[in-house]
């Protein structure tokens, strides 16, 4: 199993690469091909580098094995902040790491971190049509919030998302 650790600015390139590769693989049948093809690893290196240098109240974790980053997750306060609620912002894996327990390890560590940070509840958003991700969260005890369907701006398009929650108490 991979080691889960706090991400550092030195991880920005690996995280950016995984982010772009994962989106292009996972969303290839869900989002417009031109939007996915236009994703830039270099732009994401800058974006993640800034967040890892000054994360504020956000937390970023990586799953690594033999010094190779296999996936990452980001979590922190919801907006606007609510004391006992934390949000999973993202969890992405290198496509070749899917189905090998890496995502489950990351999610478990995120949940532990949320609880240690005082959360009684976790929340996350997922593309409504991303059935594999929805099944993954449901297997880990996350529950669909009925009537949570909404449109969100994502990668320059309007995407239909749903919300999940998990009670930690």
- Whichever domain contains 160, its CATH number is 3.40.630.30
Residues of the chain with pLDDT under 70: none
122 and 85 Cβ atoms separated by less than 8 Å: yes
The domain of 119 spans: 3-167
Tokens 């934390």, residue?
86
Total domains in the chain come to: 1
Question: What pLDDT, on a 0 to 100 scale, did the predictor assign at position 164?
Answer: 97
Question: What pLDDT, on a 0 to 100 scale, did the predictor assign at position 153?
Answer: 87
129 and 154 Cβ atoms separated by less than 8 Å: no
In angstroms, the Cα distances linking 103 to 3, 16, 46, 94, 130 are 12, 17, 24, 10, 15
* pTM more than 0.75: yes
Question: What pLDDT, on a 0 to 100 scale, did the predictor assign at position 76?
Answer: 97
């Amino acid at each position: 199993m991979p080691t889960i650790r706090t991400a550092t600015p030195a991880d920005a390139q690996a995280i950016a690469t995984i982010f772009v590769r994962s989106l292009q693989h996972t969303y290839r049948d869900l989002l417009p091909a031109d939007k996915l093809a236009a994703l830039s690893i270099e732009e994401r290196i800058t974006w993640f580098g800034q967040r890892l240098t000054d994360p504020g109240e956000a937390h970023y974790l990586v799953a690594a094995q033999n010094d190779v980053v296999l996936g990452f997750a980001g979590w922190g306060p919801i907006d606007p902040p609510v004391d006992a609620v934390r949000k999973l912002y993202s969890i992405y894996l290198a496509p070749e790491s899917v189905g090998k327990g890496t995502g489950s390890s990351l999610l478990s560590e995120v949940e532990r971190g949320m609880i240690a940070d005082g959360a009684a509840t976790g929340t996350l958003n997922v593309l409504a049509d991303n059935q594999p991700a929805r099944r993954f969260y449901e297997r880990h005890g996350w529950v669909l919030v009925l009537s949570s369907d909404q449109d969100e701006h994502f990668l320059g398009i309007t995407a239909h998302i749903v919300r999940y929650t998990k009670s930690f108490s």
